A and B are shown apart, each in its own frame.
Chain A
Amino acid sequence: MSKQWACNEHECGVVITAADLDELVAKVNQHFTEAHDSYELEEMIEDAAIDVEDA
């Protein structure tokens, strides 16, 4: 199973998928740095992450 997370920033909605939680946290924060000049906390990413079938 992979981990998936959707961005809630206004008018964004990007969906990010990663092999595990550590990779998901890194990818989400890369997205926040590049797209929103911000960051998302690890706990919040972990709590909102859902399991999805591997691609």
Chain B
Amino acid sequence: MSTIEDLPERTLESRLRFTRDMMAGPIYRKYEKALRKTWDPGEWDYSQDRADFEKLTPEQQKGIAMITVRFLAGEQEVTDELLPMIYAAHMLGKFDWVMYLSTFMVEEARHSQFFAIWHDKVIDAVEPDELRPYWIDREKTVDPSGRFSTGEPVYEGLPFYGQQLLDACHAGDIQAIEEGFVRFATLYNVWVEGVLTMPSYEIVIDTCDIWNALPTLRHGFKEIIADEGRHITFGTTACRELIEEHPEYAQIVHDTINLYRGNAVGMLEYQRFVPELNLDKYQLQKVRHYKNRCRELGIDVDQTLIDDILDPSIDFVIGVEAG
């Protein structure tokens, strides 16, 4: 067994990581921008949101909380599951990725903090038993045609593929790390953040506008979505770099999206709770965001996915609600 004394002397190049090219690159620019765009939800006033929430009907209260609780849980999950990306960036020698991902993790933690404070101060609920009445099990959402199912890409997919990526990092297998990174970033940045969640932000912001209520929730969503823009385009920029070197990795993107195809093709439960919302708008947005992500990745779109998203005969219903 080797000891620390057996290690070869480190080269100067392995100790000094900055290069002018790195500092001029798109991912380093995102790091700089993230530092300039920081915000603190602990400094915000939530009293108007509490007063507004108390005036909502029970159906409206449940409708909005059904979304915000999903965000509260989801932000905690992604904060806790980001580590494999940082490890992979380290193993691939991408110091600009490591630097940017340090801001990414802080931002996901801050989003979690915002939702925890909002739920605590506005609806007096922050712990599992208090939030259970608002939780809907996505696994219980069903497609009556039987063609598609919805899953939990955040709660099942990210931990699973994150563990695979960690295993590849531990093994030092560069090809497996690259493939695992593309798979993980596709699920996280491209599909969850970049397509599935984008209409949800707009649904909340539109709902706050229609109700003329919950100004701090609206403000928080606007701040979060600006952070998400950097997260998503970090993922697409990093994957594009790997795909340009290995065009076969493009198939990993399509295969990963297909695992959770059903989550995009139907309208999910909370897209219906405000009758004034134009639901077609949010379906069309999924197509736009999917095409945007493919453009950023430099890969072809899967037209059959677009056709499925736009197929009016595919509609989902809620099965069994938790609690």
Which A residues are within 8 Å of any B CB, using their own CB? Answer: 8-10, 36-39, 41-44, 46-48
Contacts and interface: CB of A to CB of B under 8 A. Distances in A.
Interface residues of B, number: 23
Contacts of A37: 278, 281
A47 B237 contact: yes
A26 to B, nearest CB: 16
Interface in B266-307: 278, 281, 284-285, 287-288, 291-292, 295-296
B111 interface: no
Contacts of B228: 41
B26 interface: yes
Interface of B: 26, 30, 202, 225-226, 228-230, 232-233, 236-237, 278, 281, 284-285, 287-288, 291-292, 295-296, 310
Contact of B229 (A10, A36, A38, A43): A43
B299 to A, nearest CB: 14
B285 A38 contact: yes
Given A47-B237, A48-B292, A41 B285 contact: no
Contacts of A38: 202, 281, 285
Contact of A47 (B236, B284, B288, B291): B236
A43 B284 CA distance: 20
Given A8-B295, A47-B237, A42 B288 contact: no
A36 B281 CA distance: 8
A48 B295 contact: yes
Most central of B230, B284, B292 by chain A CB within 10 Å: B292
Contacts, number: 46
A10 B288 contact: yes
A42 to B, nearest CB: 6
Contacts of A9: 284, 287-288
A44 B225 CA distance: 11
25 contacts: A8-B295, A9-B284, A9-B287, A10-B284, A10-B287, A10-B288, A10-B310, A37-B278, A37-B281, A38-B202, A38-B285, A39-B202, A41-B225, A41-B228, A41-B229, A43-B30, A43-B232, A44-B232, A44-B233, A44-B292, A44-B296, A47-B26, A47-B296, A48-B295, A48-B296
B295 to A, nearest CB: 6
Nearest to B237: A47
B292 A8 contact: yes
A39 B209 CA distance: 14
B226 A41 contact: yes
Contacts of A39: 202
A36 B289 CA distance: 13
A46 B292 CA distance: 12
A43 B296 CA distance: 11
